[in-house]
Structure 1
Amino acid sequence: MKIFFFIIIIISGTVLGTFIYGKIRQSIIKKAMTLVDANVQALKLQEHKTHHQTEAVLEQNSSLLNLYRRIDGTFSVKIGLSVALFIICLIASKIAHWQLERNDLVMIGILSLVATIVLPSTLRALYVKRRVRTLSAELPWMIDLLAVSIQCGMTPEQAFKFLADKMEGINPDFVPFLQRLVRRAEMSGLSNALIHFSREIPSTETRLFCSMLDQSLQYGSSLYEQLMDLSREIREIQLLATEENIGKLSAKMSVPLILFFMFPVVIIVAAPGIMRVFSDG
């Protein structure tokens, strides 16, 4: 039986090593094929810096994000939450009749402190990124409404103002961003407002929308046709991204299938023969 388990460990290590080596090689090839210049790097850094602008806008309509920010910004609240979490763990251990030693209590206290320090900032970042993805996915619908408003005879400024007033019943997530865009357009022009809009929703779809609209305003081309084409292209990009994620999912599912399905089948098939060989010997 020791030889049998040793063979299983070797096969598992080989499969795992092959998988890790493939991932490392894939990342090396991807880095070698990607040309990184100063503008791209600066854009990535700018996206990380401007997430706080997105968070500032989202806080207007999200009490949960406000709670995360207050917890993350106040050290005394974190200490109080860690103490409360430690007391809850002690009460649970008493109810379950667990015998906790001094080392266990110290470990629970450290874990409670780390959880209350790390979790609020992590939850804030995850919440903002999730809302940015949601807004980027729903951007084609807003572009369609903007195109229809412009086709009805409105100027882009009037169309944005109309959407800021009417989007509450369609998609309220866009309302604070559109209201800020309208106020900036009234103060410093639509081009400057579009730059801030692309920073507040940092995504590829938003940058495409803002750059296309800015170029159309400068060169006087037809806005309706370009907006409809852009909406169609963004939907195609999102569809391709979904298909790519589906393709990656099948590759990821092969690992648990190999570990939890193939090996048990091999064991069930090979175990009687191996046990018979050892018993005859």
Structure 2
Amino acid sequence: MSEIQKLEGIAGLSVAQWQLVLLLLLVLVVAILLLFFTLQANGTQQQELVQKRFRQRCEVYKRHSLELPTTRSWADYLNWLPVTEKDQRELGALLAQAGFRQPHGVLLLVGIKLAALLLLPLLVWLLASGPFTLGLLAKLTLAALLGSLAPEWWLQRRARFNQEQVRTAVPDAVDLMVICAESGLHIDAILQQVASDIRDWSPILADEMLYTHADIQMGKERYQALRGLSQRTQVTELDHLVSALIQADQYGTPLVKALRDLAQESRRLHLLNVEERIGKIPATISLPLMLFVLIPLVVMLAGPSMVMLVRSLGEL
């Protein structure tokens, strides 16, 4: 039997159908790679962030002042996607929490969701053998639902991971900010110095601080840049830190005392969070305990007795 005949015998698909399946799988892989690399924030160093935003402003100024002809980018071809203002706001916040700051990230995310919505049911239809039935319709509907929701689920998972990493690093970061404030550094210098100190063990919080420092250096109001840090992370401990920094900047409250109190409060909240997780462990392991321990134990104890009872009844 030739290799082509063997290939045709697998799942009842012809060679042309297998080629189409492989092509669709390749498209899905390319879409996932776009989600990983195109949305990834470019540049984590503060100097690179400032230079990038400065170049963008220069390009915008040159375009509007000299009226030069502009070329179409890949984002211009995604403007036809049905993206509402609510989607822009919610998906944009989700992308920011997940660490993606690409300007056209929402359009790309919606495009990937739409592509998965169409390609996954097509893959299921090609791999399914037999006539079109209600079972196949249910599979196609489930595949479309999973393809549409999977990218957003992945972003939510990544956002929760980033929030947990930031929440864990806030107490130590606040301690370092206390040391910097006691040495006489200003808020801008504190953000830059602490970000460089914590980069090795908390790169997510360091990138957020450097991005906030870059916003301030590019002319944004300090309270707006700090509010942006709080909105991007959605961490309670960091919200308290931002409020303390804004009050110290606008009203002249003692920064060192506020940071010391905040350091104690953040460590207390971290301890409460750990205790809450420990308290959830018994409820979490109850179901696996019943499935993999109690039921086998009952079978082992009652099994021989049941076998003897069945044999005794059979001899009557």
- Give the TM-score category using the shorter length: 0.5 to 0.7
**More helix per residue: 1 or 2?**
1
Within the candidate set 183, 199, 202, 2:215 is matched to 183
The CA deviation at 1:215 is 4.0
Q: Within 1, Cα distance between the matches of 2:90 and 2:174?
A: 23
- Matched residue count: 221
Q: 2:275 aligns with which of 211, 230, 243?
A: 243
**Alignment counterpart, residue 136 of structure 1, candidates 152, 167, 183:** 167
1:96-122 deviation line (CA, Å, top 9, x unaligned): xxx544225434433332222121222
Q: Could you tell me how far 1:216 is from its partner in structure 2?
A: 4.3
Please point out which of 143, 146, 149 is paired with 2:180: 149
Residues in 1 aligned to 2:192 and 2:303: alpha-carbon distance in whole angstroms: 73
Give the aligned residue type for 2:132. R
Q: Give distance in 2, aligned partners of 1:277 and 1:169.
A: 66
- Cα deviation for residue 202 of structure 1 reads 1.4
Report the equivalent of 1:198.
230
Residue identity opposite 2:290 in structure 1 = I
Instruction: Say which SS state the counterpart of residue 138 (structure 1) adopts.
Output: helix
Distance of 1:158 and 1:246 partners within structure 2: 38
Question: Which is worse superposed, 103-112 or 243-252?
Answer: 103-112
Contact 1:150/1:159 (<8 A) preserved: yes
Q: Does the CA contact (< 8 Å) of 1:163 and 1:178 recur in 2?
A: no
2:265 partner SS: helix
Map of 2:109 onto structure 1: 72
Aligned partner of 1:251: which letter? A
**Equivalent residues of 1:136, 1:206 under 8 A apart:** yes
**Which of 282, 287, 295 lines up with 1:263 in the alignment?**
295
User: Could you tell me how far apart the structure 2 residues matched to 1:269 and 1:166 are?
Assistant: 59
Q: Name the SS for the 2:159 alignment partner.
A: helix
Equivalent-residue separation in structure 2 for 1:115 and 1:102 (angstroms): 20
Displacement of 1:130? 2.3
Tell me which residue corresponds to 1:41: none
Deviation at 1:142, TM superposition (A): 2.5
In structure 2, how many angstroms separate the alpha carbons of the residues matched to 1:89 and 1:192? 48
Structure 2 Cα separation of the partners of residues 199 and 175 of structure 1: 15
Give CA-to-partner distance per residue, 1:37-89, whole Å, 9 cap, x none.
Answer: xxxxxxxxxxxx6773463472238xxx95xx455322xx5454455435655
Q: Does 1:125 find its partner at 2:153?
A: no
Q: Does 1:85 align with 2:126?
A: no
Q: 1:126 to 1:264 in 2, by over 3 A?
A: closer
State the Cα distance separating 1:205 from its structure 2 match: 0.5
Q: Report the identity percentage.
A: 20
In structure 2, the residue matched to 1:59 is 100
Shift of 1:197: 2.5
Deviation at 1:137, TM superposition (A): 1.9
1:224 corresponds to 2:264: no
Query: Alpha-carbon deviation of 1:264?
Result: 3.2
Counterpart residue type for residue 186 of structure 2: T
TM-score by length of 2: 0.55
Higher relative contact order structure (alpha carbons within 8 Å, sequence separation ≥ 6): 1
One-letter amino acid of the structure 1 residue matched with residue 143 of structure 2: S
Give the superposition deviation at 1:208: 1.7
The answer to whether the Cα contact below 8 Å between 1:177 and 1:197 also exists between their aligned partners in 2 is: yes
Q: Does the CA-based 8 Å contact 1:181-1:197 persist in structure 2? A: no
Q: CA deviation at 1:135?
A: 1.8
DSSP-derived class of the 1:102 partner: coil
User: In 2, are the aligned partners of 1:151 and 1:224 still within 8 Å (CA)?
Assistant: yes
Report the TM-score, using the length of structure 1 for normalisation.
0.61
CA contact under 8 A between 2:163 and 2:234: conserved in structure 1? yes
- When the two chains are superposed, the root-mean-square deviation of aligned CA atoms in Å is 3.8
Give distance in 1, aligned partners of 2:90 and 2:176.
27
Partners of 1:112 and 1:50 lie apart in 2 by: 24
